[in-house]
């Protein structure tokens, strides 16, 4: 055991926030990524060691991971970057954490469970806002209603997205709205819509293919899962896009145009926006008899919570709390893990 960890993708929006908080907490990560120039600047700012390498450079990747016990992977889109990093972690015996929200990545990581156990490696994707609070809420709902067959998760106050998150959302346009039905992930032709009370009356909400469609099933076994966001004008516009337009927008030339627009936007919410922001999550479970239970969870703004949960899980794994194989936050730390963080408050509304 080296007692050390690496932040890969440290020069991206969330990576920089992670590096700064790690410095403030007295942690000493190795920061890593592709751009030596950007890493040098960041390393000088935070007095950190750095390693510059591309994930396609197997030798450099393995050498770098060989220096640490844990990697916190923050370089998306994870649909492209997760597999080479997980492969390398299995080769080098390094525990894998990331901040993905991509259903396909969660499912791919779950598929590596046996290989990870054989290698003595923990694979835990989604150690940020997606999916720590929602996964813990899902597990709490299962605890409240063990015979639940339907789980609805509602999320409000997600705020503005970083460039990386926006690009991930663009990549998912062609997939439709993914939900879980009878234990299987399926794509709906049109996004489901309903009202959800986030604490100030019912609000229109739109179904989204959020990471919990994958992880909440692994954590709870509940066969039917739908995730909703409180509706914004942009989300309602996306929900109204027909199948033909989704097909057009998923084509390479349109993807490039949409991502070019993202590149012209700010790289993420400002420090003031993060400090002022907050999120509310609602969990609703129903059993075969139609009985229903609802709980609500309030948290800080998503990126602010991501860096806190991400680094806390790093510290816990370095302290020996990891477990080989595929894990979700609630599977390893329990439903109440999220309430151990300041300003994360859960209330049961009935039952």
Domain with residue 322: its CATH number is 3.40.50.720
Same domain, 25 and 55: yes
How buried is 218 (Cβ within 10 angstroms: 0-12 exposed, 13-18 middle, 19+ buried)? buried
pLDDT confidence of 157, banded at 50, 70, 90? confident
φ, ψ (nearest 5 deg) of residue 274: -65, -40
Same domain, 151 and 263: yes
**pLDDT over 70 at 330, yes or no:** yes
pLDDT tens digits, residue range 7-53?
999 999 999 999 999 999 999 999 999 999 999 999 999 999 999 99
Same domain, 165 and 82: no
pLDDT tens digits, residue range 193-212?
899 999 999 998 888 888 99
Per-residue pLDDT, 161: 46
Average pLDDT over residues 239-257: 53
Same domain, 122 and 215: no
Per-residue pLDDT, 190: 80
pLDDT tens digits, residue range 275-311?
888 999 999 999 999 999 999 999 999 999 999 999 9
Per-residue pLDDT, 244: 46
- Rounded CA separation 102/32 (Å): 22
**pLDDT over 70 at 263, yes or no:** no
Same domain, 33 and 122: yes
φ, ψ (nearest 5 deg) of residue 242: -80, 170
Per-residue pLDDT, 249: 46
Confirm if 10 and 31 have CB atoms less than 8 A apart: yes
Same domain, 181 and 169: yes
Give the single-character DSSP code of 49. Answer: -
Per-residue pLDDT, 238: 54
- Most distant CA pair in the chain, distance: 61
Confirm if 207 and 177 have CB atoms less than 8 A apart: yes
Same domain, 232 and 327: no
**pLDDT over 80 at 252, yes or no:** no
Same domain, 214 and 181: yes
Give the single-character DSSP code of 251. Answer: S
Q: What percentage of residues in the chain have a pLDDT greater than 90?
A: 72
Give the CATH number, domain containing residue 215: 3.30.360.10
Same domain, 169 and 310: no
Provide the residue range defining the domain that includes 260.
132-301+339-348
Query: What is the β-pairing status of strands 70-73 and 50-52?
Result: unpaired
- Per the prediction, the chain carries an average pLDDT of 89
Same domain, 138 and 111: no
Tell me the sheet residues that pair with 284.
Answer: 152, 294
How large is the C-alpha radius of gyration of the chain? 20
Structural domains counted in the chain: 2
- Rounded CA separation 155/236 (Å): 15
φ, ψ (nearest 5 deg) of residue 138: -60, -45
List of residues 6+ apart from 63 with CB closer than 8 A: none
Whether omega for the bond prior to residue 142 falls within 30 degrees of 0, making it cis, is no
**pLDDT over 80 at 128, yes or no:** yes
Confirm if 208 and 230 have CB atoms less than 8 A apart: no
CA 198 to chain centroid: 21
Same domain, 309 and 297: no
- Rounded CA separation 310/19 (Å): 11
pLDDT confidence of 264, banded at 50, 70, 90? low
Same domain, 12 and 101: yes
Per DSSP, the residues of 125-178 read ---BTTBHHHHHHHHHHHHH-TTEEEEEEEEE---PPPHHHHHHHHHTGGG-EE
Average pLDDT over residues 162-169: 49
């Amino acid at each position: 055991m080296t007692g050390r960890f690496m932040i890969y993708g440290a020069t991206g929006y969330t990576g920089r926030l992670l590096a700064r908080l790690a410095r403030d907490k007295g942690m000493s990560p190795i920061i890593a990524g592709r751009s030596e120039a950007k890493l040098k600047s960041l390393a000088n700012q935070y007095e950190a060691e750095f390693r510059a390498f591309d994930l396609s450079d197997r030798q450099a990747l393995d050498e770098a991971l060989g220096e640490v016990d844990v990697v916190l992977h923050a370089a998306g889109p994870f649909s492209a970057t997760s597999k080479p990093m997980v492969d390398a972690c299995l080769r080098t015996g390094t525990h894998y954490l990331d901040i993905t929200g991509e259903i396909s990545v969660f499912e791919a990581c779950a598929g590596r469970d046996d290989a990870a156990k054989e290698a003595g490696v923990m694979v835990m994707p989604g150690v940020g806002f997606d999916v720590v609070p929602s996964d813990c809420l899902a597990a709490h709902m299962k605890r409240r209603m063990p015979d639940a067959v339907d789980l609805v998760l509602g999320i409000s106050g997600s705020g503005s997205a970083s460039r990386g998150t926006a690009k991930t959302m663009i990549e998912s346009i062609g997939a439709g709205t993914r939900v879980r039905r009878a234990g299987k992930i399926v794509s709906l032709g049109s996004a489901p819509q309903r009202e959800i009370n986030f604490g100030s009356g019912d609000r229109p909400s739109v179904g989204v293919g959020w990471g919990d469609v994958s992880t909440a099933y692994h954590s709870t076994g509940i066969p039917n899962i739908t995730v909703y966001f409180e509706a914004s004008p942009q989300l309602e516009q996306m929900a109204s896009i027909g199948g033909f337009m989704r097909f057009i927008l998923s084509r390479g030339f349109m993807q490039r145009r949409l991502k070019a627009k993202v590149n012209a936007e700010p790289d993420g919410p400002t420090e003031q926006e993060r400090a002022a922001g907050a999120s509310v999550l609602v969990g609703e479970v129903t059993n075969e008899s139609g009985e229903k239970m609802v709980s609500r969870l309030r948290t800080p703004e998503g990126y602010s919570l991501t860096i806190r949960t991400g680094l806390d899980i790093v510290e816990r794994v370095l302290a020996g709390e990891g477990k080989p194989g595929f894990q979700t936050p609630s599977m390893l730390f329990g439903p109440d893990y999220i309430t151990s963080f300041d300003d994360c408050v859960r209330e049961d509304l009935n039952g």
